[in-house]
Amino acid sequence: MADLILENVFKRYDNNKKSKVLNDYAVNNLSLHCNEGEFIGILGPSGCGKTTTLRMIAGLEDITGGDISIGDIRLNNLEPKDRHIGLAFEDYALYPPLNVYDNIAFNLRAKKVSEEIIDEKIKKIAPLLKVDDLLKEKPISLSGGQKQRVNIARAIVREPKLLLLDEPLSHLDGKMRQVLRDEIKRLHREIKCTTIIVTHDQLEAMSLSDRMAIMKDGVLQQFGTPLEIYDDPANEFVAGFIGEPPMNLLTVTIVKEGEGFLFQFAEKNMKISVPERYNKVLKDGMKVRLGVRPTDVLIGTKKSPGSDVEVSVFESLGEERRLHFRVGEEFLTLITTEKIFYRPGDRVKLEFLSEKTHLFDMESGDKIRTE
Ligand code: ATP
């Protein structure tokens, strides 16, 4: 086993009618270094290049440019079967005439592994994935969750160097998804195989991944631990993409006041003081995008600086309360567990948890850093 390294990987589909002239790479200059044994999540909106990336690693898709290697072994020209990669893709494609045992054994038999060793491996893997009672069943009699478990068992029974999972839980309902997610986590601890998961579900990615790669339009936006990405998004796209409900993102004008600055919102009389740490990177009159998570917006007191703002919507959702404020064309949401009650039209002062605010450049969307 060794690290998986993607270096400046490009993919262009020449037949892609949807591609735009300026950005016609499905994957555009992707570099990722995944450490041995790491669990990596690839996340991004539909069409951002997640599946293409997995398929290139697996050898199911040619690479237009760049290199993919595991340790010192360059994979670019290796046949898929020689890459020692286990695949469990969304479409589990079990062989209908074969029972679960024979489905799991299929790839090992193709490699002429002896029946004795196959049996040994299946007896070890089947209980880990809780399919040991299903070995004699045909796929048609299995539930979606059971099929996905067999699919994963089939991928890992070959003891791959690398396990690639593309939406492996997509056909499951909420509760079953949670159960299988926990099982994948446990399985990864036991087999310690470098694993890459592609998913639409950010909670799934955050709970499973040691590190996550966030992609947009084929381009890597950020690669880091789930907390690094949540707490310190590299740009406005990542800030808005990770987090549920999403981060508030609003255009504000910086207005000088005394020694410091205020954020002036589209709603002209709404002003909130700018945390001091930004003083050296801001100028009077400058426009920026301000990002703050709903849980980092607080109801202030009469003494809070700035002016008050009108509550548009108040929601009481069990443990939490949500307040929505209209700010020009945009909305600002506040989430609190305090047992408060407001009516639309009430006015309150707002404060932001200063260390949790993020500023992004209006043009590039990149985070404006203070050091
Ligand atoms: P989703 O979340 O919807 O599965 P994705 O992030 O996995 O999306 P990809 O399937 O990798 O995205 O697709 C990336 C881009 O490449 C898209 O613009 C898609 O239309 C294009 N693409 C993917 N496969 C092909 C193909 N076989 N031929 C042409 N274009 C393709």
CATH topology of domain 4-235: Rossmann fold (3.40.50)
Burial readout 301-339 (b: 16 or more C-beta within 10 A, e: otherwise): eeebebbebebeeeeeeeeebebbbebeeeebbbbeeee
CA of 9 to the centre of ligand 1 (A): 15
Burial class of 15 by CB neighbour count within 10 A (0 to 12, 13 to 18, 19+): exposed
Residue 160 predicted with pLDDT over 90: no
Q: Whose CA is nearest to atom 24 of ligand 1?
A: 52
pLDDT value at residue 21: 47
- Residue 340: CB atoms within 10 A of its CB come to 13
**How do residues 254-313 score in pLDDT, each as one tens digit?**
999 888 898 888 876 777 888 888 998 999 999 999 999 999 999 988 887 777 888 999
Q: Do domains 4-235 and 248-360 have the same CATH topology?
A: no
Question: What is the rounded CA–CA span in Å between residue 161 and residue 1?
Answer: 6
**How is the chain split into domains, by residue range?**
4-235, 248-360
Instruction: For domain 248-360, say whether CATH 2.40.50.140 is its number.
Output: yes
Exposure class string for 202-217: b at 16+ Cβ within 10 A, else e: bebbbebbebbbbbbb
Confidence check: pLDDT of 174 > 90: no
Which one, of 59, 73, 45, 61, lies nearest residue 13 by Cα? 61
DSSP string of 35-104, one letter each residue: PTT-EEEEE-STTSSHHHHHHHHHTSS--SEEEEEETTEE-TTS-GGGS-EEEE-SS----TTS-HHHHH
64 CA → ligand 1 middle, Å: 15
| Residue 247 DSSP label | P
Q: Determine if the pTM surpasses 0.85.
A: yes
> Which pLDDT value is given to residue 119?
95
Q: List the one residue out of 316, 39, 30 whose CA is nearest residue 164.
A: 39
CA of 346 to the centre of ligand 1 (A): 48
99-145 pLDDT tens trace: 999 999 998 998 899 999 999 999 988 988 889 999 999 999 998 88
User: What average pLDDT score do residues 205-227 get?
Assistant: 96
Report the nearest atom of ligand 1 relative to the CA of 61. 27
Nearest CA to ligand 1 atom 27: 13
pLDDT-derived band of residue 232, with 50, 70 and 90 as boundaries? very high
Instruction: Extract the tokens encoding 281.
Output: 């990177």
Which tokens go with 74? 């360059």
CA–centroid distance, residue 202 to ligand 1 (Å):
19
**Chain mean pLDDT for the chain:** 90
- What are 67's strand-pairing partners? 7
212 CA to centre of ligand 1 in angstroms: 19
Q: In what order do the strands lie in the sheet with 162-166?
A: 85-88, 162-166, 194-198, 39-43, 211-216, 219-224
The predicted structure's pLDDT at residue 20: 53
CA distances from residue 179 to 19, 123, 169 in whole angstroms, order as listed: 38, 22, 10
In terms of pLDDT, which residue wins out, 181 or 253?
253
Ligand 1 lining (C-beta closer than 6 Å): 13, 15-16, 18, 26, 44, 46-52, 200
Cα–Cα distance for residue pair 73/77, rounded to 1 Å: 10
Q: By mean pLDDT, which of 10-14, 73-77, 175-179, 250-254 is the weakest?
A: 175-179
